[in-house]
Structure 1
Amino acid sequence: MPETVLVTGGTGYIGGWCVAELLRRGHTVRTTVRAPGREQAVLDAVSTVTDPGGRLEFAVADLTADAGWDEAVRGVDRVLHVASPLGTTDSGDLVTPARDGTLRVLRAATAAGVRRVVLTSAANTASPSSYASEGVTDETLWTDPDDPTLIPYRRAKTLAERAAWDFMARYDGPTELTTVLPGAVFGPVLTASTEGSVGIVARMLTGAMRGVPRIGLEIVDVRDLVDLHLRAMTEPAAADQRFLGTGEFLWMADMARVLRDGLGDLGHRVPTRQLPDFVVRLAARFGDPTLREILPALGRRNRHSTEKAHRLLDWQPRPAEEAVLDCARSLIDKGLVQQPS
């Protein structure tokens, strides 16, 4: 039955697709924006794939502040907490805003008696500490947040999800929690944005990436990830569960070949050379400090099992190649990547 669903972060990549798909399935959607004036951007983006039909509402609420959250959840049946304040602080502390933002949403949702909250976490909260691991892990594993080799993003996402489950363990009420742990998210974009994983494809298409590092990604299409969220939102068996939402594993060199072969002339700038690990390490040390966070992932082959999502939710993601190509075509169609003259 159609319900009223709050989606945090409707201006984001995953959040925008959540809003669009919920509307497409007949729900009424309320989505948060951090400040007034951003509503039209969400409406314009969503309208490219579905007609909101007067069923899209907005609430102003920032994950770094208490104001607005009680109003945001009022009258809501379910919550998809997709937004993350990671990267919005100047202090360098990623843990506090990620954890406190999650707890703000849960406090408001439980106080309002929301039926279920689905929290978007990350697959790297269920990964072994050893980057040399080549096994297959599932949702029963938790990343060790005290591992000194963890990059700040992994630690923040892990501690934020841990805080959510700890909060629910102390809570005695009707609200249920489910978490979804995505891999690298690709697929079509709704807005003129190249944030997150999408930026990898954009850099390949523009030639900004001169060579590809030896890094592998578990690729999930944003449309399939949203489908997983919606299944987790309503399926009774999903209550109090974690679900990995990863897809096929592709090395970045394989992604480059997919783009070259699938796009023809439009992919002529995509790099074909795989960079030796020592070159990436030297560049991170002496040239591009932003590369330092990817160094632990060089050559890593650890993968995640999505058997639980298949078994309990009948979730079936599309092939990784389709997600990568649809992402590239979308970036080209929206003019985010210059076509060859």
Structure 2
Amino acid sequence: MDNKQSWCDFHFLNTAFADVVEAGTKDWIQPSLVRFSYRGGKEKERTIHRTVKSIDGLSMEYAVPFPLTYMLRPSVVAVYNEVFVFLLQIRRAKSVLERILVRGNERKYVGSFGLKVLYVMRSRLSWFINTLLNFLTTFVIHAQVNQFHAKLKDIHSFDEMIELHDNHLNKIQDRCLLQKDTSTLHKAVVSILDMSLRFSEFFTSLTGDAATHDISRHSLIKRHRSRRTARKRRDIIGFTHPFIEDGLSSSDDDGVNNNFGDMDDEIKEPDILKNLTMETESFSIVSTTGSPEEIAEELNKFSSELDELVRFVRRGVESLVDGSSEAASAFGVLAFALEDWDS
């Protein structure tokens, strides 16, 4: 993917999976029972360096033995595949950001102050992705699997097992924002993942060019604390906001595009997501060909778009924390974690 080479060849996918299983410490699955394929098409395959949506065409099939075929029906496997692809998209963005490292002579392409600006932007993207991934793997999948195993001990029939598994998978799908009523939040998350890929491409273009693009500008680095964080500053380690355009407030009451209002109100898409489909790109790549002031202005716009999307996700998750249901409790963990975005 990173080398922009073909990554979705049938034999390559399955051989790579078998190698990963073989390298593991536990024989947790038989690779021969799993088959990967890609149905996204050549055009979609070539956009993998710009958007994680290209991974949507990846499909995984599992040849389960009888009588588990009644429990792992094609529709059930499709849901598992949906969750798998979403997690892979998140890890793709995480991997791209972690590869952004400047060593040796590459530092000459940006001034030390400009380099700091870029690393802070990378930290902001990484913070959101790591927060989301930790929530999904720890408080959704791991927690639900443990509950499923605990309840499985009290099952007395295969029909009860099927019903229990269906409920288990439905909870995972719901908490991964993959249900119809949370499709807007899912779209916002995917857009943030795409921003990570675009930022990586911008960073590579910048450090690989001549040292004429000094993007340093004092207005790019502004430390701002929300009123909520100020009240809790002795108890919570804040997350510094480096890029905030003039006139934007990071408080809970004055966020960008505060579309949610009360939790009972309808969740509305922010302007940045309007007229956007899952097949189109949401953001243009920041150009490195302009003047330092133009590049800095584009980065400010990029940062503002990121703020808008993260705050949209945060308020959307907060709207799901309603009542005393198990789902509300799970989403409460993510909502609490996202409060630190405006720290």
Classify the TM-score, shorter chain.
0.3 to 0.5
- Quick check: which one's helix share is greater? 2
- Quick check: which one's strand share is greater? 1
TM-score (norm. length: structure 2): 0.32
TM-score (norm. length: structure 1): 0.32
